[in-house]
Every structure is written in C-alpha cells, then in structure tokens.
Chain A
Amino acid sequence: MIKITIKYFGVIAEETGKTEEVLELDSDDVDVESLKDHCTSKYSLTDTNSIQVAVNQMMGASGPLEDGDEVAFLPPFSGG
C-alpha cells in the first residue's frame, strides 16, 4: 500500500473537482504513466495530450512512484 499526493492545476482541477487529493494505492507497482491513465479515466479528463506531470517538483518525470511522492498535473495556460 502506497500513498501518493496529487495536485491538480488549472482546468484539470475543475474537471476533477478538487485541487488536491491523497490516493492510497494497493499495488506497489504504480508508475507515472499508469497514474495518469488512472486519473484520466476516473475524471474523464479532456485534453490529456498536453498535460504535463511533475513528481516531487520535477517536471517530465517517469517510471515507478514511491510511497509519499507528490505528483502535480499541469495543463498549459494561454491567458494573458
């Protein structure tokens, strides 16, 4: 069992209905890609192509996640 904190930004936070959540995952075989897929289908995220994922404040991370990791889901913003 591992605990992952996820932070959602911009329009993603609106689609998930929250800015942050802690997920307790049974498997200890979770990676960035599978977590993204999990959240994409759970919340029916629309523009998954451009979403960038940071792990522990490092952008573009991939591979397995560990207990206590903090993951951020970021969309690009266009406003000015």
Chain B
Amino acid sequence: MPNNGFTEKYSRQMKLPEVGSSGQERLGYAKVLIVGMGGLGCPAAQYLTAAGIGTLGLMDHDLVNLSNLHRQILYTESDVGKPKVEVAKKALQKLNSDVSIISIPERLDENNAPSLFEKYDLIIDGSDNFQTKYLINDAAVLTNKSWIYASIYKYQGQLSVFNYEDGPTYRCLFPKTTNQNVSCEEVGVIGVLPGVLGTLQATEAIKMILNTGNILSGKLKIIDLLTNQDQLIRLQRNEDEIEKVKVRGLKPEIIECELASIEKLYLDVREPYEEPRPKDSNVLSIPMNQLEKRHDEIPKDRQVHVVCQHGIRSKNAIEYLQENHGFTNLVNVEDGIQSILKEESSS
C-alpha cells in the first residue's frame, strides 16, 4: 500500500493519537461506497480520497450539469455533459493516487444493490430522492451494512448514521414514506449546505473506520445554516420496521407503493377521445404526437407511470423520452389503462 511519500502525505492526521500509523493503515484497507455523486457525494469523496481511503466506489448515472457547479465543486465548466463518475474518478485520482477509485455509472436498484453493498464496509448516501434512500436503507439492513444518511433542504440539513451496531434505521426515523420529493432544482439550495453535510458524512465514515469518538447513531443532527440553530434529536430503534424489511427482502415495488399511496403520478399518452378515462386527478394527459412539444411538462424528479390503452404506445413513449429528452424516471404500465382502473376500484 505505502507509496513514496506515504508518511509525509498523511503526517498531519497521523499525528493525531486517534489515527497514528495503525489508524492510517485501517483507512488504507477501508472500502466505502458513495451512492450519488452530487452535492453531498462530491465533498465526501474528496475528503475520503485525501484521507487515504483504500477503495472508494462512486455510483451515479447522471451527467454534469451547469447548474450543479455552484455546489458540486469537484466538477468544472469543461466537465458539463460528461458522466459524473468518470469526471470524479479522474479528478480524485489526481488528488491521491493511493486510492483505488471505482466508477459505477448506474442507478441503484434491487438487482445491483445487494452484491454491490457486500463489497464495501460502509455506504454513504449522496442520493436526492426518497426512493433511493429507502432502497439504501433496506439493502443495508439486508446486507448488514451501516450507512451514513444526509439530506438537505434550502439552508437545512439532516444527518445520521443508520444500522450501526444495532442502532436505528431510516425506517425507524421515517416509517411513513412520502413522495413529496423536493429537489434542489425546485426550491433552491445554498451551495455550501451539501458541502457541510457531505463533509460531516466523510467525518463519520473516518471515525467509524478508526473506531473512535462518538458515532452519530441513534441521533439525528439537524443543521440550519440560516438561523444557526442546530438540534440533536435522539432516535429509537423500531424492531417492527426492521423485521418487516428482513422478512420481505428488497422490494422496490413496495417502496414505490408506499410512496405512491399518497399520490401516484401517471402520464396518459392516449388521444383525448380514448375511453375509459381514470378518475384519478393525478394524470398528466399528453398524447403521443404532442410529446416532442410538451415533454417539459413531465417531472423528472419523481417516478412517472406512463399509460396507454394496452401498454404498447406507452412503451414507445418511454423509449422516445429516454432517448431524446434524458428521462430516467419513467415506468411502463404494462397492462394499460384497465390495470389503473382496477387499482382505483380496489382502493
């Protein structure tokens, strides 16, 4: 592991009694996975790379966008349009060549999560939606991994370590899900906020690897950069919530259902005259031939169920929107409109 200049590179942190040469060695053998390389993931990755983490997995399916740069300061103007994980890998490798950096240009799902989590010691949540947060939680419970949660809203942030040494999980904190995904794009965010939270996530990761200090397990830290009124709230483990996950396994469709029980959003691509029309008020109606003109009306930050009469046009609509307008959040209602009407009458 040690390269030339190893001791000098890490000398300032090795001076700390909690680190030392044995601690540095522990860091050098540690494997950390970051899910989501946005505002939270970037600073976490930067500090963990600088600290000399052994292996760092970076997972994100997205491309660098100009509007990311005010808070995702690992990326530069010339990176716009490039895959985040590739840009991040290159930049981080320059920062510290000791670290083995693995880029994973995928979205976390029920198929890749378990095997991926198995390969790492702990997981950092850099995601920006509830679906992924519940998926990380459930996969972490099933693979018995700890994960470091953070979420942000405008000037406020939440931080906690979940599933750490029999501590509480995300579902113990928020047993009732919501699909009110509020993205930074929609409501705005101060650039330093994810910097603060992501850096704290890296701090907890380092402490967990070194086995030192008090880990933020069983506690939720709330930070408000606008008022400077921070809170530390104690959390309790809810065995029922954990048992539920262990019994049913990784079921994103259940997460989706829980989220959708509040309101499921449909995109109906049929012509206006086609019957039957669902009573559900949460239906966005854009016929196939208007998708090119009106694709901006379809949200990108939450799951949208695309429906037509029999599931064929909706499948084509999804392909068109994915290929031409960068959608990654569309799900086909395979059995067409009848299945929604069945759902309506049974609920």
Contact = CB atoms under 8 A, between A and B. Distances in A.
Interface of A: 7, 9-11, 19, 46-47, 49-50, 52, 54, 57-60, 72, 74-80
A47 B231 contact: no
Contact of B235 (A19, A47, A59): A59
Contacts, number: 100
B128 A79 contact: yes
B142 interface: no
Contacts of B262: 47, 49
A17 to B, nearest CB: 15
Contacts of B222: 9, 74
Contacts of B232: 57
Given A80-B38, A80-B152, 17 more contacts: A9-B156, A19-B224, A57-B232, A57-B234, A58-B236, A59-B233, A59-B235, A76-B174, A77-B153, A78-B128, A78-B181, A78-B182, A78-B183, A79-B128, A79-B151, A80-B128, A80-B151
Given A9-B156, A11-B153, A77 B182 contact: yes
Given A47-B262, A50-B180, A59-B173, A76 B151 contact: yes
Nearest to A76: B174
Contacts of A59: 173, 220, 233-236
Contacts of A46: 180
Contacts of A58: 233-234, 236
Nearest to A79: B152
Interface residues of B, number: 46
Given A7-B231, A52-B173, A57-B232, A80 B178 contact: no
Nearest to B127: A80
Contact of A76 (B126, B157, B178): B178
A13 B294 CA distance: 34
B41 interface: yes
Contact of A79 (B177, B183, B234): B183
27 contacts: A7-B231, A10-B153, A11-B153, A11-B180, A19-B227, A50-B174, A50-B176, A52-B173, A54-B233, A57-B233, A57-B234, A58-B233, A58-B234, A60-B238, A72-B233, A74-B233, A76-B158, A77-B151, A77-B158, A78-B183, A79-B151, A79-B184, A79-B189, A80-B38, A80-B126, A80-B129, A80-B152
B178 A77 contact: no
B130 interface: yes
Contact of A80 (B41, B187, B233): B41
B39 interface: yes
B52 to A, nearest CB: 25
A50 B173 contact: no
Given A19-B227, A59-B234, A74-B222, A80 B125 contact: yes
Q: List 3 A-B pairs, minimum CB-CB distance, nearest first.
A: A80-B128, A77-B151, A50-B178
Contacts of B220: 59, 74
B265 to A, nearest CB: 15
Query: Among the interface residues A19, A52, A72, A78, which one has the most CB atoms of the partner chain B within 10 A?
Result: A78
Nearest to B185: A79
Nearest to B39: A80
A63 to B, nearest CB: 14
